[in-house]
Amino acid sequence: MIEPHSMVLPGGVRLLVGCAPHAGTCSVAVFVRWGSAHESARTNGIGHVLEHMAFKGTAVEGPAGRRVRDARQVNLEAERLGAEVNAHTDKDHTAFYMRGLPQHAGRMLQMLAEIVLHPSLPADELERERQVLLQEFAEDEDDPVSTAFKLFDKASFGLHPAAQPVMGTRRNLEHFTRDDLVAHRAAGYLAGNVVVGVVGAVRPEEMQREAERAFAAMPAGAVAPVDEPPWRGEALTRALEGSSQSHLVFGFPVPPRRADDPVATVAAALLGEGMSSPLLDRVRERRGLAYYTACSADVLDMCGQFVIEASMAADDAVPLLREVMGLLHEHARHADPADLERARQQLAVRSLRAQERGLRWLEDLALDWMATRALRPEAERLARLHAVSAADVSAFFERLLRHPPALALTGAVARGMRDRLRKALDASLG
């Protein structure tokens, strides 16, 4: 197993290094605890814009003078190393990462540092990228699955920043300026908010020296954690023109990542991971109520959701909801030890697969550190998952059912469907 090495750089940046001597490639990443949940209503979406714009050029002041690279030069430098470079924005963080050869790990650290610390943010590039982002926004609005999850967040957390979509609003996208991007970056791209990670056939002491040089200019400071949002448990629907199918997302609150509680992860795997799981066996295989269904425990730094989703014919939404609520009640009374053992094995395999995909392992490690300020060896983390008992899982489902579920339905939505779904939920909750 890959075991992490953790150290603090002189400016306050946290460095995590995973030594994988037999890995052929190396992943390098910068994680910033600064996502859409840290934005105001007026700035919602700006982090995603900044993530895009960070690759449009860099400008670094050094002893030899000012070094400027445009977007093509940034990409070309990575590709000359055979490396891929990318980024993503989430609700509780933004990540920049590269994958390449281990011998280029130091250079990749330097390149990511320039992208994160010294983006030039050219105004003409912002205008071009704005059009790309607006097209992406329009495509996302037409997607019933994405729309369902955005509605589900609103049904869960109302107007709390945790419910804000990563892409923001059309109005915001149309009006962000370069000055807005500069201010947003300055407010959150601070040493205490940043975790730098490397995993591959590398030496921790070498990576520490390289990271100290690369991130010496990172400003000091940190941002206070976002407060945990109150749970609302509403039901929302939105009909999308041209849809013949419906997509349902509903669920309950679970502890946030900072609570460091493994039960929700085990319960989600027990209920809905794999074709033999109770959720898929009952809803899809026996009843034929959905052509797709899944269950997950989605935890962020400040909140968590136990999520069940399904894609189905429009007429099957209510019977499917009743069936799933029945399953939850059954598991609140009794969790099958055989299902628990299956879930344990699936989680163990998932953990091993994450280590084979170094970037996935690195991101999990960084987010755990940001939330808990602790690092658990992989063996200890798996032991905690395996220690969850069938009684723990039943008690977890019993606690879930004390809360009003949040629900979102999109796609083909008949008139009055929201009230029918709400009545079905109320009846199942007794």
Q: Which helix (H) or strand (E) holds 73?
A: helix 71-80
Residue 63 has pLDDT above 80, yes or no: no
Contact predicate 17/5, CB 8 Å:
yes
- Rounded to 5 degrees, φ, ψ at 268 are -65, -40
Find the mean pLDDT for residues 231-240: 97
Looking at residue 68, its pLDDT comes to 87
Digit-coded pLDDT (tens) for 408-426: 999 999 999 999 999 999 9
Contact residues for 254 (Cβ-Cβ < 8 A; gap 6+): 261, 264, 297, 299, 304, 305, 306, 400
| Intrachain domains 4-214 and 235-429 with the same fold | yes
Looking at residue 378, its pLDDT comes to 83
- CB-based burial label for 373 (10 Å; 0-12, 13-18, 19+): exposed
Contact residues for 155 (Cβ-Cβ < 8 A; gap 6+): 232, 233, 234, 235, 236, 406, 407, 408
- Residue 429 pLDDT level (bands cut at 50, 70, 90): confident
More confident residue, 260 or 176: 176
Residue 227 has pLDDT above 70, yes or no: yes
Looking at domain 4-214, which CATH architecture does it have?
Answer: 2-Layer Sandwich (3.30)
Least confident of 98-102, 115-119, 222-226: 222-226
Looking at residue 340, its pLDDT comes to 98
Residue 65 has pLDDT above 70, yes or no: no
Looking at residue 61, its pLDDT comes to 77
- Residue 60 pLDDT level (bands cut at 50, 70, 90): confident
Report domain 235-429's class.
alpha beta
- Pairing state between β 57-62 and 292-299: unpaired
- The DSSP string of 102-157 is GGGHHHHHHHHHHHHH-B---HHHHHHHHHHHHHHHHHHHT-HHHHHHHHHHHHHH
Find the mean pLDDT for residues 17-30: 96
CA proximity to 98, closest of 80, 110, 112, 119:
112
Residue 74 has pLDDT above 90, yes or no: yes
**Sign of the four-CA dihedral 11, 15, 21, 25:** negative
Find the mean pLDDT for residues 46-69: 89
CA 305, CA 282: separation in Å to the nearest integer? 22
Q: Which residue ranges make up each domain of the chain?
A: 4-214, 235-429
CA 108, CA 80: separation in Å to the nearest integer? 12
Contact residues for 316 (Cβ-Cβ < 8 A; gap 6+): 246, 289, 290
Contact predicate 231/253, CB 8 Å:
yes
Residue 2 has pLDDT above 90, yes or no: no
Output the six-digit token pair for 397: 């489902």
- CB-based burial label for 145 (10 Å; 0-12, 13-18, 19+): middle
Digit-coded pLDDT (tens) for 360-395: 999 999 999 999 998 888 888 899 999 999 999 999
**Amino acid letter, 32:** V
More confident residue, 378 or 137: 137
pTM value surpassing 0.85: yes
Looking at residue 364, its pLDDT comes to 94
Digit-coded pLDDT (tens) for 296-315: 999 999 999 999 999 999 99
Output the six-digit token pair for 293: 């269904």
Contact predicate 232/155, CB 8 Å:
yes
Digit-coded pLDDT (tens) for 255-289: 999 999 999 999 999 999 999 999 999 999 999 99
Residue 248 has pLDDT above 80, yes or no: yes
Mean residue pLDDT of the chain comes to 95
- Pairing state between β 194-200 and 14-19: parallel
CA 420, CA 410: separation in Å to the nearest integer? 14
Output the six-digit token pair for 361: 């392992």
Digit-coded pLDDT (tens) for 111-132: 999 999 999 999 999 999 999 9
Residue 225 has pLDDT above 90, yes or no: no
Looking at residue 177, its pLDDT comes to 98
Looking at residue 138, its pLDDT comes to 96
